[in-house]
């Protein structure tokens, strides 16, 4: 098995194992691009727990992720195994309230998550190297 196949398998497994997963540049605590930071802010403002994978440690991760999703840019948000989209789509869905509805969270666009809602993302060990 080539390393690209192993990376693709790990990506597909991560997407399948997590209801909401964000492939991004950097980590939720330290995003390494503005688009990733904006997408994390949207998810955190909704109080939606999510897993995250940093695509920067190995350029093959990005290549294989784009092959799996058919989407060329980063970040990429997946919900229940399906690509939601990148930063622009996620931001637009947030503004219309469609994202909160799709994710099944109570907070609506522009509202602050209720007290007691843990908006901290889950962290996925980067097994994609």
pLDDT, averaged in runs of 10, over the chain (129 residues) = 81 96 97 97 94 94 95 97 97 96 72 40 48
Counting beta carbons within 10 angstroms of the beta carbon of residue 98, is it exposed (0 to 12), middle (13 to 18) or buried (19 or more)? middle
11, 51 in Cβ contact below 8 A? Answer: no
pLDDT for res 1: 55
Q: How does DSSP assign 21-63, residue by residue?
A: EEEESB-SSSBSSHHHHHHHHHHHHHT---EEEE-TT-HHHHH
CATH architecture of the region 3-103: 3-Layer(aba) Sandwich (3.40)
128, 58 in Cβ contact below 8 A? Answer: yes
pLDDT for res 28: 96
Burial string for 23-58 (b: 16+ CB within 10 Å, else e) reads bbbbbbeebeeebbbbbbebbbbbbbbbbbbbbbee
Contacts of 98 by beta carbon, 8 Å cutoff, 6+ apart:
none
pLDDT for res 2: 64
Q: What is the value of pTM for the model shown?
A: 0.81
109, 56 in Cβ contact below 8 A? Answer: no
Q: Residue 85 pairs with which residues in a beta bridge?
A: 77
Q: Among candidates 41, 9, 62, which has minimal Cα distance to 121? A: 41
């Amino acid at each position: 098995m080539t390393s690209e196949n192993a990376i693709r398998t790990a990506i597909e497994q991560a997407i399948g194992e997590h209801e909401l997963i964000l492939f991004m540049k950097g980590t939720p605590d330290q995003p390494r691009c503005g688009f990733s930071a904006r997408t994390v802010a949207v998810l955190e403002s909704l109080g939606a727990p999510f897993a995250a994978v940093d695509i920067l440690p190995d350029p093959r991760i990005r290549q294989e992720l784009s092959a799996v999703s058919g989407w060329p840019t980063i970040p990429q948000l997946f919900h229940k195994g399906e690509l939601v989209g990148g930063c622009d789509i996620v931001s637009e869905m947030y503004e219309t309230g469609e994202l909160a509805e799709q994710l099944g969270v109570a907070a609506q666009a522009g509202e602050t998550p209720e007290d007691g809602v843990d908006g901290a993302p889950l962290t996925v060990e980067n097994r994609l190297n």
